[in-house]
Amino acid sequence: MAAGPQAAQLWALLDELAENDPRAYERLLRQQRARAARLLAPPRPHLCLRARCGGVAGRPVFINICSWERVPAPRSRCGPAPASAGRLEEGSAGGDLYSVIDVAYNPDVLQRGEENPEKMEHLIRLTLRFVEERCNLPLSHLYTREPFRLKGSLEAMQARLEGRQLPPPPSNQDTKQELTLEELLHCLGAEECSRAPVLLREEREPRAEVPLIQEVSRAGRAEQPRAPAHEVITVKDANQKPLRVELRIKLPQLSSVAECDLRVSKDDLIIEVPEKYKLHLDLPELVDEERTTATFHKGKGELLVSAPVPGADP
């Protein structure tokens, strides 16, 4: 119950900062935008493991170990290593069946592993055990680290970890199963095996810095922003000459204008509220972005934007 008044007080302080110290306010916004960009960035491949189900002669199981800012870092160097896993999928190559699953960690966890081969080996062993218990899939103790970083496509891996479904590819499409490092650098960017949290405790190496893995539930992930309701009006004079473009944008979840990132160019408008709203509009007229004004009405939860047309009287 106390969170409401505290949040209102915080937004009031931000509004006051915007009025009294615009430079500090802009600096704070840049920091928050950078943080939001990191959290909204998609997972990226780090390394790929090949194990086998049930023994040396069993079906290959590929494990894509990925880096994802959205996965929390461990609270301490000896605490749990949070992980997020996608659904197990089946695939085939040359008529041979295989399975693939994606497991994501915070970049700090993987960075520490790359700096210390023993820690990386320990993390890999825990990942294998994590996949075994999560998917009820017995794996052999032998594994290989593949020369490529990702089994399957980058888009499919990101969709699995984010809980999205991809449309099936055309039957005559020759899909590529491995991505080289060069191809990955050129890329811009659901059912689960079990929804229950998994906690793996290390028994043989109690002194290791990653003693266990804890799966992060998808319910705790940031919501995807949605387009808000809006209205665009072109105001004209008696001779039907455009004077200005006015926009009314409904933002009922907005507590303060400090949460909003508004960008206006000559021909378009972008508004973003991290994890809540995102809207990109092509304007019906060219406007003067320097004279554009925006006003947020808290009571109505509505943002009013007025963009004059160049040459029109102010």
Domain edges within the chain: 3-38+224-308, 41-166+176-220
Task: Name which CATH class applies to 3-38+224-308.
Answer: mainly beta
pLDDT < 50 regions, the chain: 1-3, 173-177, 186-211, 220
pLDDT of amino acid 202: 38
Q: pTM of whole model > 0.85?
A: no
Please state whether 201 falls in left (phi above 0), alpha (psi between -120 and 50) or beta. beta
pLDDT, residue 190, reads 35
- Angle (deg, nearest 10), helices 22-40 and 3-20: 130
Distances (CA, A) of 211 to 74, 78, 115, 197: 11, 6, 17, 16
What pLDDT score does 168 carry? 61
pLDDT score for 136:
87
Question: What is the chain's Cα-based Rg?
Answer: 25
pLDDT, tens digit, 9 for 90 and up, residues 28-48: 777 777 666 666 778 899 999
Q: What is the pLDDT of residue 199?
A: 36
- Residue found by looking up tokens 């210390």 in the block: 116
| DSSP reduced 3-state for 78 | coil
